[in-house]
Structure 1
């Protein structure tokens, strides 16, 4: 019997099992997020990834509730990830924001809580707050997102708990090989956001030649490559058919030669990075929930 990639897990460095494959909801409003999460759960997804910055945690909460209602599933069957908003960086503010997030998601615990971006001067204090919440049993695993090796090493030098995950932009055009290697060396699991690399990667000639060879879609080739690199993957989709197709990557394997072809596509091409964000500076006035773009229509779906 062919394995179902949605049931495949990896064991994090604290012993928690995390699904290899899930649904991301970045740039999705509350209504769309609700429908996407419901549909994902109905079609076997366990891992759902959101963040306060996305402005759709309320919609995700409704999607979780409706998905479990329609499937008869249990909360413990899901793995929910969310993230510390940059404007909430710092020890006390992170603790306060976490309880707001629990309330908005209508959950009693979070499976994985990440520092969304390493706000300079504050991410160490933010991490210590995550350590407290973890030790209090409110989070099953804690980690980081968008940490380069310099910032990750600085965090490790001050941490009492090693991050379980580093979630990075990762796709054939941006493979973050040095960050991936450090993750391996430190026992930190790499997770990919933007795993399909947008239209450029999906339209790449190499990817489409492999899609023809394996009788798969371009997206399936990329997602299978991610899996074979031991990278957790959370492609965004708002369409049921694409959700299902994305997850159908367990019935084939890329040869070593074909993996190498994709490895050679790396252009170190980031879609976004530190220097483009004013709130990378913790003293910048843009570092507040009111001024950072969150694609929000929360009020309409709050109830």
Structure 2
């Protein structure tokens, strides 16, 4: 459906040639923009219905008396159905801190939320296949699980600044509402959530798709050959390059797809995607308001090293 629309617009309406750098670039851009925004609108709405019931206090009460192992697994699962980029995960992260949820669980959520993204997972299956996607999700979960434990073991609580004073955003509740009114509130919340998230990330999606389209249409094949699995420096360089950038995983998938089509190794490409999602510079700048730089350096180091090891492993496997 999406490819047919792109074919009609680029080749029929605009009458561009079937072959050529500009044609390939525009076709890739149109197809991915339509596909991604369709998936965004649909899935954010349904996830919004679920998130209607979530608040830090409810999560804390649910986890009361349960083991940290179980709590961290729940944090990973919650991360998969909550905000889509690193910066939009921070308000809920701060709410968890204020609610008194253990630090290992809170940091597990902070890592998992941008890295394990339900929309990105669905789209990624069509790009790299279900096996690589499953490994990607598993790797993200492992990084989040052990990253949270390491952050707590390293005594990071002394580097968190006045988090008790941080105000948590209010969450609507269905309690004591008539059924028809409750559904109306749920629909209103999900619609507002979808509009808010799309309004926050649409420019990054356009930027990510645009870069991916240019990469797809104009990136020389010879350059991609230097980023194959035999180059041990390719993965760490991809992680380093990804940190200053900002996008959610959905926005960067077009670039991932373009890199793979040009022959860049799977592990290198997915490491680049993970670093953009999990340790972006804007996220670190926001976290600096509540953390000492030592905590930020520790957080960045743990995640970056983990992503690098995962990328190298993926290159060995694929």
TM-score by structure 2 length?
Answer: 0.23
Larger of the two Rg values belongs to structure: 2
- Larger strand proportion, structure 1 or 2? 1
- Larger helix proportion, structure 1 or 2? 2
TM-score by structure 1 length?
Answer: 0.23
